[in-house]
Amino acid sequence: MLMENVKDSVLVRQYIEGDEGSLEILIRRHKQRIYSFIFSKVMDRDITEDVFQDTFIKVIKTLKRGKYNEEGKFLPWVMRIAHNLVIDHFRRNKRMPKFQSRNDFDIFDVISDGEESMEYEMITSQLHDDVKRLVEELPEDQKEVLVMRIYKEMSFKEIAAATDVSINTALGRMRYALINLRKVIDKHNIVLTR
């Protein structure tokens, strides 16, 4: 049987099981309808392209996380995601009026807020949350030393006094805390960089 004739539900299942080719068929099968739907709302090619891309990034993440509800049909589900992202786009634009650059003048050539982008801040915040959750998994004595040293910036002398142990013990606990964190990070291929 030609893959083009395979039902969406079968392709979705195959993709979840690791067949990347099934995703390509799904995208190519429905790209025109989804693209036209988005375009009919935003009436701008670049924005349509962005929303189309964001829609499928969400689809891919949801499928890979195993969060897709197989009871629903694939295309209506993707359309709902696209619809929600279109609404998000209009909400953002309402909050932030659009400045249209001309050919001879681009506002971004002359202004800079001098701050990190929102995306950068969000990634940093996510990374900090991930590290905090990993720290929570450490044995209590190691977690205590690590929190005092990294988050409270206490010296090992102060940590030793606060926990009623020798400086060497505090150093040892810190060492094991870092070793244990690295083990978990390596074992699960967790990437903690931007």
Partner 1 sequence: MAKLYKESLPESVKPLGPKEDTIKLLLSFSKALSISHYKNMTFEILNN
Under the binding rule (CB under 8 A), the answer on residue 137 touching partner 1 is: yes
Under the binding rule (CB under 8 A), the answer on residue 106 touching partner 1 is: no
CB of 93 to partner 1, least distance (A): 18
User: Which of residues 61, 128, 175, 183 is near partner 1 by CB under 8 A?
Assistant: 61
CB of 45 to partner 1, least distance (A): 7
Asked if 79 contacts 34 with a C-beta cutoff of 8 angstroms, the reply is: yes
Q: What is the 8-class DSSP label of residue 147? A: I
Side chain identity, residue 130: D
Under the binding rule (CB under 8 A), the answer on residue 190 touching partner 1 is: yes
- The structure tokens 């709902």 sit at 80
Q: How many CB atoms lie within 10 A of CB 10?
A: 13
Under the binding rule (CB under 8 A), the answer on residue 115 touching partner 1 is: no
Under the binding rule (CB under 8 A), the answer on residue 130 touching partner 1 is: yes
* Window contacting partner 1 (CB under 8 A); options: 32-40, 108-116, 150-158, 174-182: 32-40
Under the binding rule (CB under 8 A), the answer on residue 191 touching partner 1 is: yes
Nearest to 74 by CA among 32, 2, 4, 13: 13
Q: Report the alpha-carbon distance of residue 48 to residue 37 in Å, rounded.
A: 9
Burial of 170 (0-12, 13-18, 19+ CB in 10 A): buried
Side chain identity, residue 59: V
Q: List interacting residues with partner 1 (CB under 8 A).
A: 20, 23-24, 27-28, 31-32, 35-36, 39-40, 43, 45, 48-49, 52-53, 56-57, 60-61, 64-66, 130, 133, 137, 184, 188-191
